[in-house]
Amino acid sequence: MALFDLRLQDVHSKLNNKELSVSDLVGASYARIGETEPAIKAFITLDEENARRQAAELDKQLKEGGERGLLFGLPAGVKDNIVTEGLLTTCASQFLGNYDPIYDATAVRKLKAAQSVTIGKLNMDEFAMGGSNENSSYYPTRNPWNTDYVPGGSSGGSAASVAAGQVYFSLGSDTGGSIRQPAAYCGIVGLKPTYGLVSRFGLVAFASSLDQIGPLTKNVEDSAYVLQAIAGYDERDSTSANVEIPDYVSALTGDVKGLRIGVPKEYLGEGIDPRVKEAVLKALAVYESLGASWEEISLPHTEYAIATYYLLASSEASSNLARFDGVRYGVRADNPSGLIDLYRKSRSQGFGPEVKRRIMLGTYALSSGYYDAYYLKAQKVRTLIKQDFDQAFGKYDLIIGPTAPTPAFRIGEQVGDPLTMYLNDICTIPVSLAGVPAISVPCGSADGLPIGLQIIGKAFDEPTVLRAAHAFEQHTEHHKRRPQL
C-alpha cells in the first residue's frame, strides 16, 4: 500500500532514478489484489500474464535511459464497459460473458501510448445501470471503508480498487453520477469531464448523450495527469469536441482568491443528511479563508432532474441495447424455436432485472402515442436545466454542493426500492444533463464513511474545477485518510 500512497510525481522520480522498477509496481498491485480482493471483489477479469510481460518490457526501456511520461509504468484498472483488445469486456452482464474485443477504446489506446499498465477489468453495475454495484451479474463490490456497505455505482469497482490500493488509478464512466458518487462513497477523487472532452469511442453505450469517461484517483493532481493523457478530439467519435486541450497540471496553482462560488439551495435542502450538509459548509469556510466568496443560489428545475434523466437515459438505453439480440455477438440462448424466440430467450436470460426495467421504461417512453408526452417533454426540461446552469455561470465561476445526499448505505438496504436508489443521484444528475464538468473530492466523514464535495464548472473549464479542488485538498487532510482493510 505504501507504494500506492506516493504522489504520481514521486513514483515517476523513483522510476527514473532506478529506485523502483515497473515490475515492482505491478507486483505490488497483484500482491495487494491477492490480499484484499476476497473482501472487496473490485475486479471481474485480471490480466496478470500480459501485465507482467509489459512490465518487463518497460523495465528494459528504463535501463536504456531517457525521460519517461508521467503515467509510465503505473498500474491502472479499466471499467468493464470500456473495450480492451484481447481482454474480456463483459459490462458485468451475462450477455457479454464471452465478448473478447478486437480493438481498444480510444481512452485505453491513449493510456497504452502513455505506457501505463492495465491490471484488469473492474466490476460495475450491469451495463452501467445502477448506483450501488449491486446490479453486477457476477457479484457486488464492497466498500473498502466498511465491507458491509456499497461502494457506489456504477463505477463501484473502479472506485473501490483505487481506495483499496489495488491500482494507482482507474478509468470509469459517468452517465448520471457514476464516477462522482462512488468516488464520494469510497473517499477518493472522481472527475466527470465536460461531455465531448474525452472520446466515447469504445465505451459500450448506455445513454449516448450523457456517457463520459473519466479518471478516479487518490488526489487531484493525479486526476489532472490522467485527464491530460485521455482528453482530446477523436474523429471516430461523432460527439467528440474539437477544442484545444490546456495544460491541466499547470492550473493547480492553489490560488482561489476572488473565485465566486454559487451554492444551490436545492443541493442542501430536504433529503440531504445533516452530516453531509455540515461537511459541505465547513468546506465552504475553507474556501472563504482562501479568499473565495460564496452565495446561496437557486437551480429551480433541479426537482425535475431525476424524472428527466430516467426518461432520457432509459430511452437511449432501449435504443442502444437493441443490438444485443443473440445474433451478432454475446451469449446466445440454446434451442430457440425461431428468430423471435431467439431474441426473446437471449434477452430474457442475458439481461438482469435493472437493465430490463430501464429497457421497458425507455421503450414505453419512445412508443407511439407517448413520445411527445414523455420523451419530448423530458428533452424540453433538460434544456431548462441546462439554462439554469448557464444563468448561474453568468455570475459565478463555480457551483459547489454535496456529491451525494448521504454517505454509503448498507448492501441490500435499498436494492428492493429502485426509486430510493435513483434519488441518491439527485446532486449529480443535473450536472450530467447540462454536460458540464464536475469533480468529487473527500470533505469529511460520518460513522467512518467518507463524504464527497462536488465542484462544478463551466463547459470545458476543467482547469478552474481542478484548481479549486486542488486548493481545497492542499488545506485539508481528508484525502490522506485510508481505509484499514
The DSSP line for 388-425 is: HHHHHHTT-SEEEEESSSSS--BTTSSTT-HHHHHHTT
Helix (H, G, I), strand (E, B) or coil at 294: strand
Q: Any idea which residue has 507504494 for its cell? A: 3
- Residue 212 pairs in a beta bridge with 174
Across the beta sheet with 293-297, the strand order is: 43-46, 117-122, 75-79, 169-174, 212-217, 189-192, 438-446, 449-456, 398-402, 260-264, 293-297
Per-residue DSSP letter, 170 = E
Please, are residues 280 and 296 in contact by the beta-carbon 8 Å criterion? no
AA identity, residue 444 = G
Q: Quick check: bond before 154 cis, omega within 30?
A: yes
Q: Any idea which residue has 463551466 for its cell? A: 458
Q: How far is residue 86 from each of residues 83, 99, 274, 350, measured CA to CA in Å? A: 9, 9, 47, 22
Please, are residues 433 and 381 in contact by the beta-carbon 8 Å criterion? no
Helix (H, G, I), strand (E, B) or coil at 481: coil
Q: Print burial letters for 235-274: b (CB count within 10 Å at least 16), e (below 16).
A: eebeebbeeeeeebbebbeeebeebebbbbebbbeeebee
Question: Pairing between strand 169-174 and 75-79?
Answer: parallel
CB atoms closer than 10 angstroms to residue 420? 12
Give the residue numbers annotated as catalytic, written as ranges.
79, 154, 178
Q: How far is residue 130 from each of residues 153, 299, 330, 354, measured CA to CA in Å? A: 6, 25, 21, 7
Identify each DSSP E strand in 153-274 by its residue range.
169-174, 189-192, 212-217, 260-264
Distance between CA atoms of residues 281 and 298, nearest Å:
17
Helix (H, G, I), strand (E, B) or coil at 187: coil
CB atoms closer than 10 angstroms to residue 477? 8
Q: In terms of Cα–Cα distance, which of 408, 436, 399 is closest to 184?
A: 408
Per-residue DSSP letter, 465 = H
